[in-house]
């Protein structure tokens, strides 16, 4: 394409709410055939709220919220913020935390009121030999089957509660997926969340392929694997944990509502955080390059 055509394309992108890093980006956009989409914050709003607290026999809901809320108050994760806010709304001021550690893709750990507290995936609690009693395990699975995210809480050697957070699917996501398919692209959901929740959300927006329970460090490997299979991969994400995968993808698209790290790692920014702009970007590059060449 001529430099003029690329400039016009870049300008048209800006009007559509698509910021393009350089004119050469339009070239890679055009050849894309698979679109990998992060779930939380990309397909969903990423604004979670605490909707349920299920405690094991003999445990106190207020105590669970105090300890888990205090710990999550130190984390930036959308799940953590929902739990800290929900806890504060119910029990008031939260105690201080010592020796806080964030275990990416798994949960958080720290000392609160002299208790060694964990909040996160069952896999994290299992690493500390804390296993969920059957009724909590059932409650967790039921919440996940509804597309919600459930995390476990444990301290001093025992799993004690399950916290359920809910997110909402953006109203524009389903239409965006339809548009991407109409452009001949295969949408694939990639998430660290559990398989049941991920599959339910995928079904709501029309995605058939789901890769779930992926650690943040593994997201980039999934993109590489698809490229090894000969696919030209676009990746759409918003989080710190998406940055490496966004950089690895043939085309990285960041949500403008996401983190700076994701935006810096990407070729394109969808300013309004509307997934339909991803389809607009592909359409624009095909039009800009296809007609001029
Ligand atoms: P996503 O790809 O959906 O953005 P992450 O990789 O950030 O997900 O997290 C994957 C999973 O790890 C979450 O669904 C949750 O179970 C657990 N997790 C991560 N961070 C936290 C946290 N701060 N508190 C509780 N659980 C967490
Ligand atoms: Mg995300």
Kindly provide the b/e burial profile for residues 238-253, where b requires at least 16 CB atoms within 10 angstroms of the residue's own CB. Answer: bbbbbbbbbbbbbbbb
Q: What is the pLDDT of residues 25-49, one digit of tens each?
A: 877 777 899 999 999 999 999 889 9
276 lines ligand 1 (CB under 6 A): no
Give CA–CA dist 192/293, Å, rounded.
41
> Could you tell me the two tokens for 67?
């300890």
Return the ligand number nearest the Cα of 214. Answer: 1
Give CA–CA dist 275/237, Å, rounded.
10
Name the residues annotated as catalytic. Answer: 38
Residues of the chain with pLDDT under 70: 1, 290-293
- How much distance in Å is there from the Cα of 283 to the middle of ligand 1? 33
Sequence-ordered list of residues with C-beta below 8 angstroms from that of 141, at least 6 positions apart, any chain: 196
Q: Name the residue at shortest CA distance from atom 22 of ligand 1.
A: 107
The DSSP 8-state label assigned to residue 60 in this structure reads -
**For position 22, what pLDDT does the model report?**
82
**For position 292, what pLDDT does the model report?**
42
191 lines ligand 1 (CB under 6 A): yes
Q: What is the pLDDT of residues 123-140, one digit of tens each?
A: 999 999 999 999 999 999
Q: What is the pTM of this model?
A: 0.86
Give CA–CA dist 143/130, Å, rounded.
20
> Could you tell me the two tokens for 145?
């089957």
- How much distance in Å is there from the Cα of 262 to the middle of ligand 2? 10
Q: Name the residue at shortest CA distance from atom 16 of ligand 1.
A: 121
Give CA–CA dist 224/253, Å, rounded.
16
108 lines ligand 1 (CB under 6 A): yes
């Amino acid at each position: 394409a001529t430099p003029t055509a690329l400039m016009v394309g870049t300008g048209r992108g800006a009007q559509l709410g698509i910021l393009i890093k350089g004119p050469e980006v339009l070239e890679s956009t055009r050849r894309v055939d698979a679109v990998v989409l992060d779930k939380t914050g990309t397909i969903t709003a990423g604004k979670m709220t605490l909707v349920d607290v299920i405690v094991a026999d003999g445990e106190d809901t207020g105590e669970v919220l105090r300890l888990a809320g205090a710990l999550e108050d130190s984390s930036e994760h959308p799940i953590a913020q929902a739990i800290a806010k929900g806890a504060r709304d119910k029990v008031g001021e939260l105690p201080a935390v010592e020796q806080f550690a964030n275990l990416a893709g798994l949960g958080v750990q720290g000392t609160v009121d002299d208790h060694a507290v964990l909040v996160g995936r069952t896999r994290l609690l299992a690493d500390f030999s804390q296993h969920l009693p059957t009724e909590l395990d059932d409650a967790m699975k039921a919440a996940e089957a509804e597309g919600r995210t459930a995390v476990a809480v444990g301290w001093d050697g025992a799993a004690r509660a399950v916290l359920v957070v809910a997110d909402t699917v953006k109203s524009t996501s389903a239409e965006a997926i339809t548009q991407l398919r109409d452009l001949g692209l295969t949408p694939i959901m990639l998430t660290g969340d559990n398989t049941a929740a991920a599959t339910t959300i995928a079904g709501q927006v029309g995605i058939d392929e789901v890769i779930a329970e992926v650690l943040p460090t593994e997201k980039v490997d999934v993109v590489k694997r698809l490229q090894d299979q000969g696919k030209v991969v676009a990746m759409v994400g918003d989080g710190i944990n998406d940055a490496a995968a966004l950089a690895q993808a043939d085309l990285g698209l960041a949500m403008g509502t996401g983190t700076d790290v994701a935006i810096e790692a990407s070729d394109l920014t969808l300013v309004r955080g509307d997934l339909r702009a991803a389809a607009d970007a592909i359409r624009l590059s095909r039009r800009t390059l296809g007609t001029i060449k």
